[in-house]
């Protein structure tokens, strides 16, 4: 249990099972730009080696 707690203590270290911040931020950026009516949107970030980054 202690090792699980140590691992989950910081979900922003960019490890395999952490929160995919890059993908999350890009999705927010795309959504906001769509709401502003922009059409030149950046591509969404998909999985790489079966993990979302």
- 51 or 43: which carries more pLDDT confidence? 43
2-43 pLDDT per residue, tens: 877 777 777 777 777 788 888 999 999 999 999 999 999 999
Contacts of 38 (CB under 8 A, 6+ apart): none
pLDDT at 27: 96
The token duo for 7 is 């691992």
- 25 or 47: which carries more pLDDT confidence? 25
Give the chain's length.
53
Say yes or no to pLDDT of 45 above 80: yes
Place of tokens 């591509």: 43
pLDDT at 51: 77
Question: Radius of gyration over alpha carbons of the chain, in Å?
Answer: 15
């Amino acid at each position: 249990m202690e090792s699980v707690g140590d691992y989950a203590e910081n979900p922003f270290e960019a490890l395999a099972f952490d929160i995919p911040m890059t993908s999350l931020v890009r999705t927010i950026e795309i959504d906001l730009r769509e709401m502003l009516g922009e059409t030149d949107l950046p591509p969404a970030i998909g999985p790489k080696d079966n993990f979302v980054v």
